[in-house]
Structure 1
Amino acid sequence: MSRNGAGGVAPHGVRELVAAIGCLPAVVTDRHLTVVVSNPLARALSGAFHPSVNIARYTFLDSVTDDESPEWLDASGQIAAMLRDSLEQHEEDDGFRRLVGELSSQSVSFARAWAHDARRPARSAAVRFVQPFVGPITMVFQELLIPDDFALRMLLWRPADDPTERDAFARLVEYAAGER
């Protein structure tokens, strides 16, 4: 197991915790924003939350969303800020250089966010998802750092405080239960 978050492995206790959190989407990423473990509800929420998917690549290279919408611009800015924050907290490594180089050369949106957006990443923020079986849903994440492996972060998601969002979340829970 790596202590620098680049090994792609979450400690056993963290994997058990994520599996036990059945009422909220839970995702753990490494320092490069690659998902190392997630629960079924997180995987139902977004294709970005499947193990071994890099959230930055998914957002900037694989996403089929409207990259001019205010929601996407805000979320993508957060992803770039999280990646920059990770780089500031850890030594740069070959994997990090490859990832930033790939994103910069293949995504004008990433290059712009990386070069010009100096915001600090939010530790909690609302993100709008367009889930194909549920429709649009706004979720709020809370970032938690994993003790004993400072490069891993957990994102816990809850529906925004709105009856419409709670209804959409209930449909997501039903959908995720049917997918198991």
Structure 2
Amino acid sequence: MMNFSGRDDRTPTYMESGMVSGEGVVEFLHSWDGVAATLIDRHLNVSGSSRLAEALFPSLRMGTNLAREMFLEVIPRRAYASAEDLSYQVVAALHASLAWHEDDAEFEKIVGELSAMSRAFSTAWAADRQQLRPHGVLQATHQSAGELTIRYQLLELAGGSNAILIVWRGADPESEHALKQLVLAS
């Protein structure tokens, strides 16, 4: 699991039985009307999303890699006032996952590809490592919902799934209203 706080991530076995693994979350995501949530694996691949998350972030579909989306300009950086900070958080998530797990072919492929194809990634990857923040706020411009201020929370899932659930909500009344309108439209 990714370590956000410096705490020991070894969950006692007596606690694991009541916790939900990554696989258990995927089947619930589409039933979460009104909740924007996306599940990602340790390589930052999308494992599933709620309908609202798909409406909010259309490019984050099943199998999409968050790092590739961010740095290969598939996610239009102009759509995020906080794009630079967001890109550093994506790199921080990769660094955190790599620090916790063994390097593997998938990591090498992602980092190699992005290093070769994105100056922004190379700069962020080589920069002083930032701490992955488990929560924050981003400014976004959505095609139909307009200007949004979105609060996010990263939630580690139990059971050794190495999955992270990202949950978004409006950070102000206008953004909450816009998200409710997206739910009705989706």
The TM-score bracket by the shorter chain reads: 0.7 to 0.9
Map 1:115-134 → 2, pairs under 5 A: 115-134=126-145
2:75 maps to which of 46, 63, 67: 63
Are 2:57 and 1:46 equivalent residues in the alignment?
yes
Corresponding residue for residue 164 of structure 1: 174
Corresponding residue for residue 159 of structure 2: 148
- One-letter amino acid matched to 1:115: A
Distance 2:154 2:42 in 1: 13
Between the two proteins, what is the percent identity of the paired residues? Answer: 32
User: What RMSD over aligned residues (CA atoms) do the two structures have, in Å?
Assistant: 1.9
Corresponding residue for residue 92 of structure 2: 81
Q: How far has the Cα of 1:70 moved from its partner?
A: 5.1
Q: CA-to-partner distance for each residue in 1:127-150, whole Å, 9 max, x for gaps?
A: 222211111212111111111134
Q: How far has the Cα of 1:174 moved from its partner?
A: 2.1
Does structure 2 retain, via aligned residues, the 8 Å contact 1:123–1:143?
yes
Residue segments in structure 1 that go unaligned for 5+ positions in a row: 1-9
Aligned to 2:99, the other structure's residue is in SS state helix
Map 1:9-48 → 2, pairs under 5 A: 10-11=22-23, 13-48=24-59
Distance 1:127 1:70 in 2: 7
Per the normalisation by structure 1, the TM-score is 0.84
After TM superposition, the structure 1 stretch with the greater mean CA deviation from structure 2, 71-80 or 43-52, is 43-52
Per the normalisation by structure 2, the TM-score is 0.82
Residue segments in structure 2 that go unaligned for 5+ positions in a row: 1-21
2:116 maps to which of 76, 83, 105: 105
| Larger helix fraction of residues | 1
After TM superposition, the structure 1 stretch with the greater mean CA deviation from structure 2, 149-158 or 95-104, is 149-158
Structure with more relative contact order (C-alpha pairs < 8 Å, separation 6 or more): 2
Distance 1:31 1:94 in 2: 13
Q: How far has the Cα of 1:14 moved from its partner?
A: 1.4
Runs of at least 4 residues off by over 6 Å:
none
Q: How far has the Cα of 1:118 moved from its partner?
A: 1.1
Distance 1:132 1:87 in 2: 34
Distance 2:38 2:29 in 1: 7
